[in-house]
Amino acid sequence: MSLFWSLGLRDETKLRRFEESLLRKIFGPKREEVIGEWRRLHDDELHDLYSSPNNIRMIKSGRMRWAAGHVARMGERRGLYRVLVGKPQGKRPLGIPRCTG
């Protein structure tokens, strides 16, 4: 399930670059009227032409909606519910963690 895939800074950059490359292919190059030469569109020009919501923000808000909707309705005995609303109690032991495997 892709809901638990963490979206790091590197992944956000890759998604943003992929989206911009697709938009450049869709809208194509722009012809300069003065010189008559073709050039690639800049990022701000692409966003002016295609003003859609930020995909990264949509991914994160979708995950939050999932957490608020599904996990909040789970019973108190479920692990995800306890992680979402619970507070850790006690203290962690000192030293190297025990080998559990």
In order along its 101 residues, the chain shows pLDDT tens digits of: 445 567 788 888 888 888 888 888 887 777 777 777 887 777 777 777 777 767 788 888 888 887 777 777 777 777 777 777 777 777 877 888 777 76
What's the CA gap between 50 and 52, in Å, rounded?
Answer: 6
Q: Let me know whether 65 and 78 are in one domain.
A: yes
Q: Does residue 31 belong to any structural domain of this protein?
A: yes
Q: Let me know whether 34 and 65 are in one domain.
A: no
Q: Let me know whether 44 and 17 are in one domain.
A: yes
Q: Let me know whether 15 and 47 are in one domain.
A: yes
Q: Does residue 101 belong to any structural domain of this protein?
A: no
Q: Let me know whether 46 and 13 are in one domain.
A: yes
Q: Let me know whether 14 and 40 are in one domain.
A: yes
Overall domain count for the chain = 2
Q: Let me know whether 16 and 45 are in one domain.
A: yes
> So what's the pLDDT on residue 1?
42
Q: Is this structure's pTM higher than 0.95?
A: no
Indicate left, alpha or beta for 11 from its phi (over 0: left) and psi (-120 to 50: alpha).
alpha
Helix axes 55-66, 9-27, angle to 10 degrees: 130
Q: Let me know whether 44 and 57 are in one domain.
A: no
Q: Let me know whether 29 and 48 are in one domain.
A: yes
Quote the domain boundaries for residue 67: 53-83
